[in-house]
Every structure is written in C-alpha cells, then in structure tokens.
Amino acid sequence: MTGCGLKRLYVCINQTYEQFDVDNIIRDLKESLKGSGIEVKLVTEDIFQNVIGHSQKVSVLNEDEFIEHSEKTRDDSETLILGDGLYAHIGLGEKYRGNAHFVIYHAEDVDEQYLALVWARTYQKPLVIAGTSRLLMREMTLDDLDELYELYDSVRTCPYIEPLYERAEEEEFSRKYIENMYAFYGYGLWLVFLKDTGKLVARVGIENRVIDGVTRQELGYVVHKDYQHLHIALESCQEAISYGEHMVGLEQIFTCIHAENKPSIALAEKLGFSLYTENVSGMNIYEKKLEPLS
C-alpha cells in the first residue's frame, strides 16, 4: 500500500455502553488488508490497558511469549510488544466517551478503508486515497516536495494557478497541512502518480472555502504540463469526488473557476457540476450534489 512492506497493526476496540460484534468483521477483512500491506490483529481491552498501557523501556516478544507472559506482573519500565507492530485504540458507538485516538459510531463502518486510515495515521504514513488502472492518489509527505516544485514549475505560466511558497516556508506550511488538514478533516489536496513510472503528474483534492458565509468543500486540481490532455484531471477528480461522497460523507461539493478558464469550466461540466453563482471576485462557482452512503 505504501511501499514499506507488511506492517502489523494491533487494534483494541472499546465499546463503552454498547456492544457490537466487530471480531468477525475484522476477521473477514484480514485477507484483503494483507493485500494492501496491512496485518490487523485484535487485542482485548484488558490486555491493552494492563500490558500495552505501560511504557518507557520496550521488550519485544513474539505472540506465544506474549500469551504466556501477559498475566505476569511487571514494573512500569517495561512494555510487552507482540512482535513488530504498533497499537491503535478505537472507540466504538455513539455513546462512547473514552480517550481513544479514533472514534467511530457504527460497527459496519469498520471496513478495509477505515482500517487502512487507522494504519496510516498510526504509522504516520501517507494514506492511499484511490487507485485506478493507471493512477495512484495518496496524501503528500515532505519527501514529495522536490517533485511538487517540478509540477508547479511546469505550469508557472498559467495565470490561474498560485505558485508554491519559497522552500523553507513551503516546508513549514506542508508540515502543518499534513498534521492538521489530513488528520482533522480527513481530506485535503492529494498527489496523483502514474503507477507504471511513479511520476507525480497532478495534485487533486478537496479543500475548505467560505461560500455564502458558510465553510464549504471545494474541488481543486493542477496537472503537470507534460501530462495534460490525457484525461488525468477527469479521472483523478472523479476519484476525489467519490472519496468525498462515500468516505467523508459530503452532500455537495463546489469548484471555483475563473470566468475565462474555459478548459476548467468544460471539465466541471463533464464532472456534473452546474453553475451556482457568477462573478465572485472574478470567479464563477459551480456546485455538484452528492449522495453519501448512509
């Protein structure tokens, strides 16, 4: 999934006040998750609190050793770890009021994509948003900045695209963007790569913009000059809209386009947007109604 091999994720699901049968749900997902480079194992709440809750010095045990020693008394300087892997604490249920790092309301929302998100956040790796036969879309990292500058340099003569900041400022901006935008909102601007070459060819995603005094979600994109007219914008924007609809739960999405930017207007129409309002600071605003999964 992220090119770093199989990584094990130990999941403790706390179901305060409500009981859901998530064991079978996760067991059913194990094989498909392994195909994405993730191995998930459930850990009981007692083990999570009594064993994983200790910290400082780390002592690595395999699974058999963990089972054998899990009930033994240890001092506070020792933590038992089940082989290679990290731990994720998920709160489940609308009445959950604990301190888990992740909270989800419905058991059926514990699916492959959600566990992939938990895995990515736990390992601090970029989340893969979508993949098509030729494209891969994922969150950005600071390691992507060189390629990102190359992308923006290729379209430097386009009057509708704002350039990146100077390097030091862009690094700081990107660091905060990764920490806050992706983690808090669950969306943002993502990077699009060609699968066969690994080349960064576009930046596409969803951001926030105040429209009519309300914070709305806006679709945006930029495509490398050498890869324009190959339907990369259409294909990747479709994936971004689908993610916003089904994973974020958006009921509508907007796009703001300069009135003279005919190619982007044509793309918006292909994507099913319709005119919302005209001439707002020189831009026309288009809207697309969505049908998020209930």
Residues 44 and 143 both lie in one domain: no
Q: Is the pLDDT assigned to residue 286 strictly greater than 80?
A: yes
> Which of the residue ranges 34-38, 41-45, 93-97, 158-162 has the most confident prediction, judged by mean pLDDT?
158-162
Higher pLDDT, 157 or 1: 157
Averaged pLDDT for residues 130-134:
94
CATH number for the domain including 189?
3.40.630.30
Residues 46 and 148 both lie in one domain: no
Averaged pLDDT for residues 172-178:
95
How far apart, in whole angstroms, are the C-alpha atoms of residue 78 and residue 145? 39
Higher pLDDT, 78 or 246: 246
Span 21-32, pLDDT tens digits: 777 777 778 777
| Predicted pLDDT of residue 60 | 40
Residues 61 and 155 both lie in one domain: no
Residues 134 and 265 both lie in one domain: yes
Residue 72 domain-assigned (yes or no): yes
Averaged pLDDT for residues 263-285:
95
C-alpha triplet 250, 107, 86: angle, nearest 5°: 95
Which of 100, 125, 150 represents a domain boundary (last residue)? 125
Longest dimension (CA), the chain: 71
Residue 2 domain-assigned (yes or no): no
Percentage of the chain modeled with pLDDT above 90: 51
Which of 74, 92, 125 represents a domain boundary (last residue)? 125
- 159-183 per-residue burial string, b: 16 or more CB within 10 A, e: under 16: eeeeebeeeeebeeebeebbeebbe
Residues 209 and 67 both lie in one domain: no
Residue 1 domain-assigned (yes or no): no
Inter-axis angle of helices 145-154 and 167-177, to 10 degrees? 110
Residue 79 domain-assigned (yes or no): yes
Q: Is the pLDDT assigned to residue 260 strictly greater than 70?
A: yes
Q: What are phi and psi of 250, to 5 degrees?
A: -70, 140
| Predicted pLDDT of residue 59 | 39
Average pLDDT, whole number, for the chain?
83
pTM tops 0.95, yes or no: no
Residues 118 and 156 both lie in one domain: no
Residues 152 and 177 both lie in one domain: yes
Candidates 13, 10, 32, 31; CA nearest to 21 is 13
How far apart, in whole angstroms, are the C-alpha atoms of residue 76 and residue 88? 20
| Predicted pLDDT of residue 294 | 57
Number of domains, the chain: 2
Strands 7-14, 214-223: parallel, antiparallel or unpaired by DSSP? unpaired
Domain that holds residue 99: 7-125
Residues 270 and 184 both lie in one domain: yes
Name the least confident of 53-67, 149-163, 220-234, 251-265. Answer: 53-67
Residue 135 domain-assigned (yes or no): yes
Residues 162 and 274 both lie in one domain: yes
Span 136-166, pLDDT tens digits: 999 999 999 999 999 999 999 999 999 999 9
How far apart, in whole angstroms, are the C-alpha atoms of residue 212 and residue 254? 12
Residue 294 domain-assigned (yes or no): no
Higher pLDDT, 211 or 16: 211
| Predicted pLDDT of residue 47 | 59
Which of 67, 95, 125 represents a domain boundary (last residue)? 125
Residues 17 and 44 both lie in one domain: yes
CATH number for the domain including 12?
3.40.50
Span 232-258, pLDDT tens digits: 999 999 999 999 998 899 999 999 999
Residues 33 and 97 both lie in one domain: yes
Residues 212 and 153 both lie in one domain: yes
Q: Is the pLDDT assigned to residue 186 strictly greater than 80?
A: yes
